[in-house]
Amino acid sequence: MGTNPTDRPLLILHLEDSQADQRLAALTLRRAQLNCSVVSVDQLPDFLKQLQTQAFDLVLADYYLPGFTAIQAWEAAQQLPHCPPFVLLSGAIGEAAAVDAIRLGISDYLLKDDIARLPHVLTRALEVHEARRAREQAVAELAASERRLAELTEHLQTSIEQERTAIAREIHDDIGGSLTAVKFDLAWITRNATPLPAVGEHAQSALEMLQHALGASQRIMMNLRPPVLDQGLAAAIQWLAEGFERRTGTPVTLLLHPLRAPLSQAVQLVAYRTTQEALTNVAKYAAATAVHIDMSDAEGVLTVEVRDNGCGIGPEQRDKPKAFGLRGLAERARTVGGWLDVSSQLGQGSSIIVSIPLTPGTDFDPAEELS
């Protein structure tokens, strides 16, 4: 119960038109030494007024009253901000009506012929009501916590992409520009170092290393924020597949259906990063000999599937404490209203599918600043 009965009397509202039955119920509760205070009413307006002006712990109600029933009183009380638990105490209710009342949410019922059990029934109803209220509060708190976690995840993902974009720009504008300038100077030294062959050889070697550094910086920049995304998701996925084939030698089959509508940058980025992470996992763990990538937006849902014929993912691998890859992809998908499906069998490969509804309500763009 919200308040311990030893701290204050339970406040009970008794909806009953018989004064004799009102007195009998009050006497039964006193004999059981139940610490309570009972307010009795017999009209629906008075009943609702009492509920609006006082915080009752429980309602005890006869089933049939002048001009209305306890069910009507219950339904009216449900419209109030705080509705206490209901217990029916009646001598004229059938079993079917009692069952219907319980289905509607009324806590319990008791026949007046069995009124000696009233204290026990009330106590049990209060305990059940408090347990239900505590559970609802816990569910609400869990939902709020999950919502805050989703908001934090979205914020972190957006921040990460912004940082990646900023770093890619730094590499392109500063490091890339400086390396290109040094490359031109080394090329000039190579052309004009004929009297000193050793100088020319060192300059040529440095030029080759510089070319390697330029290639590495471009590769890092592309991984951080690939400009190919500006050409569309299909082009970006094709670029990922070609890079994967070059690095691993594993062939990739692409089935990229033409998209019916343009995608927001946020949706493209989620699909791209999911594909990128899935291919990384295949390269690291799958030992696959073939990879298939399918993309479509049939029925208003963008789906991208990365499927391989490798060794598969075992349950223990998914549940490892620090296995954040797939969990991170699932959280990333949620930021745009999507979800991640992972299916795998040991020795028979794996499939990772990201699905994102493309309805107007979900096509928001938290990564708008990344362009």
Counting beta carbons within 10 angstroms of the beta carbon of residue 131, is it exposed (0 to 12), middle (13 to 18) or buried (19 or more)? exposed
3-state secondary structure of 70: helix
Domain 10-138, second-level architecture: 3-Layer(aba) Sandwich (3.40)
Rounded to an integer, what distance in angstroms lies between the CA atom of residue 51 and that of residue 14? 11
Summary count for the chain: helices (H), strands (E): 11, 12
Per-residue pLDDT of the chain (371 residues; tens, 9 = 90+): 444 444 678 899 999 999 999 999 999 998 988 888 999 999 999 999 999 999 899 999 998 888 998 999 999 998 888 889 999 988 877 778 888 888 888 888 888 888 999 999 998 988 888 888 888 889 888 888 877 877 777 677 677 767 777 776 777 667 767 777 777 777 777 777 666 667 767 777 777 787 777 777 767 766 666 777 888 899 999 999 999 999 999 999 999 999 888 898 889 989 998 999 999 999 988 899 999 999 999 889 999 999 999 998 877 666 665 555 777 888 888 888 899 999 988 888 999 999 999 875 444 443 443 33
Rounded to an integer, what distance in angstroms lies between the CA atom of residue 18 and that of residue 357? 60
Q: What is the pLDDT, as a whole number, of residue 368?
A: 41
Q: Measured over all CA atoms, what is the biggest interatomic distance in the chain, rounded to whole angstroms?
A: 125
The CATH number given to 229-371 is: 3.30.565.10
Instruction: List the structure tokens of 21.
Output: 């039955």
The residue behind tokens 């059981």 is: 32
Instruction: List the structure tokens of 53.
Output: 């002006």
Q: What is the pLDDT, as a whole number, of residue 321?
A: 54
Q: What is the pTM of this model?
A: 0.52
Rounded to an integer, what distance in angstroms lies between the CA atom of residue 132 and that of residue 205? 76
Q: What is the pLDDT, as a whole number, of residue 370?
A: 38
Rounded to an integer, what distance in angstroms lies between the CA atom of residue 314 and that of residue 330? 18
Kindly list the domain boundaries of the chain, sorted by start residue. Answer: 10-138, 229-371
